[in-house]
Amino acid sequence: MSSRSRIPGIVTTDHVFRVPLDHGAPGGESIEVYAREVVAAGREHDELPWLVYLQGGPGGKANRPTGRDGWLDRALDDYRVLLLDQRGTGRSTPANRQTLARRGDARQQAEYLAHFRADSIVRDAELIRRQLLGEDGEWSLLGQSFGGFCTLTYLSLAPEHLREAFVTGGLAGLRRSADEVYRAAYPRVARKNAGHYARFPQDVAAVRRIAAHLVERPAALPGGGTLTVQAFQALGILLGGGSGSCVLHYLLEEAWVEGADGPELSDTFLAGAQSHLSFAQNPLYAVLHESIYGQRSVDAGATDWAAERVRKEFPGFDAEAALAGDGPVLLTGEMIHPWMFETDPALRPLRETAQLLAERTDWPDLYDLPRLASNQVPVYAAVYHDDMYVDTAHSLETADAVAGTRVWVTNEWEHDGVRTSGRTVLDRLIRMARGEV
């Protein structure tokens, strides 16, 4: 099924595919996967190579184009682009508190969601490739963040029909456990805090004041959630984006109003905090986040809320201890904690499901190291120096392990550089592929 739309500068075509829930049992239950084909206006009938965009996440739908903007503008110079809503997201068969409730109890929900990792996403893409391009058709990949993790899985499972792969901020540690990932992450997040407080020194007092208030009186959010001090600290996820430090600062500026009984947190602040903290639009990000690191050969145990456990090794992130002194309260980053399934209404019904996934010990491997070591698909990767979300050292370690990988290390952009740089980051990688850099 497909339909076509015209937006200034581009022509889009909708595609919906039926894919097996479990690719190991193709005759069983099936789900839908949606993809949007985008081509430059006037080039609809040209023979163009395909570029598949694999979104970050997990649990994020592909971007919705409004024209020839940003990286898409550069891609459309050379490619026909396919924006894939990975299974469970966007217009693909959704997986959230509403739809999962129909699947039965938490154990049944967890078994269902165990099929929503990178290996299944790659097999979906391969089925789609065959339907759109034929058995021998080939295309290129652009993997942003978690989409880069999926790209490495694609190179491990089905590289035969890939022309090239571009990765932005997404070279995962191939044999790094969840514990190792977060053990490396907390010091990076602390550095981002230091950078923010150096840029906006007045925010040291602003954050301390809000944190002290929330320790005593957690606040109700407009959507029914609860802003605890730990949830407030989670706003530090903003510090990994190009404009995130400024966004956080401006949010803090409007934190207080003078109410009938004295100062209170403003509706403006609470609504802004909710917009950054709620998982209503991407619940799989929380439910499946640590499972993206689960591999049988890496860690025989469960991921078991690694971010929460490892946090105890970094007492600087203890807000109440910080408030007992006179130093800054550190905000956290891209970490998922079990208490989020209490404070967020979109996650509360999935609490037991998430717990079962955290306890799971039989995750299959996502990367084939021998195959990656002999990889023949050209890979061009942007690695951001001190990326808050993906460890730079782990990324360079992976680049060394994947044959044919060329890396551009830059401190000009943050993790979201492919989006915030306009055409720049993708253009650099394409010029590397063309031998122009």
Give the residue numbers marked as catalytic.
Answer: 145, 362, 415
Residue showing tokens 């602390």: 190
C-alpha R_g of the chain = 22
Phi and psi at residue 170, to the nearest 5° = -145, 30
CB contact burial 339-349 (16+ within 10 A = b; e otherwise): ebbebbebbeb
Name every residue whose Cβ is closer than 8 Å to that of residue 352 and which is 6 or more positions away in sequence.
106
Structure tokens at 413: 């952009």
Strand partners, 94: 88
172: Cβ contacts below 8 Å, ≥ 6 apart: 148, 149, 152, 292, 367, 390, 394, 395, 398
Closest CA to 298 of 365, 360, 356, 357: 365
Q: DSSP secondary-structure letter at 257?
A: E
The dihedral of CA 377, 382, 383, 387: what is its sign? negative
Which of 205, 175, 239 is CA-nearest to residue 389? 239
- Spell out the residues 6+ positions from residue 143 whose beta carbon is closer than 8 angstroms to its own: 54, 149, 150, 151, 165, 166, 167, 168, 170
Q: What CA–CA distances, in Å, run from 8 to 3, 5, 42, 66?
A: 17, 10, 11, 8
Tell me how far apart the alpha carbons of residues 37 and 84 are, in angstroms, rounded to a whole number.
9
Q: Give 314's Cβ-side CA count (13 Å radius).
A: 20
Helix (H) or strand (E) holding 3: strand 2-7
Please answer whether residues 329 and 233 qualify as being in contact, where contact means their C-beta atoms are separated by less than 8 angstroms: yes
Sign of the C-alpha dihedral, residues 84, 87, 89, 93? positive
**CA distance linking residue 348 with residue 112, whole number of Å:** 18
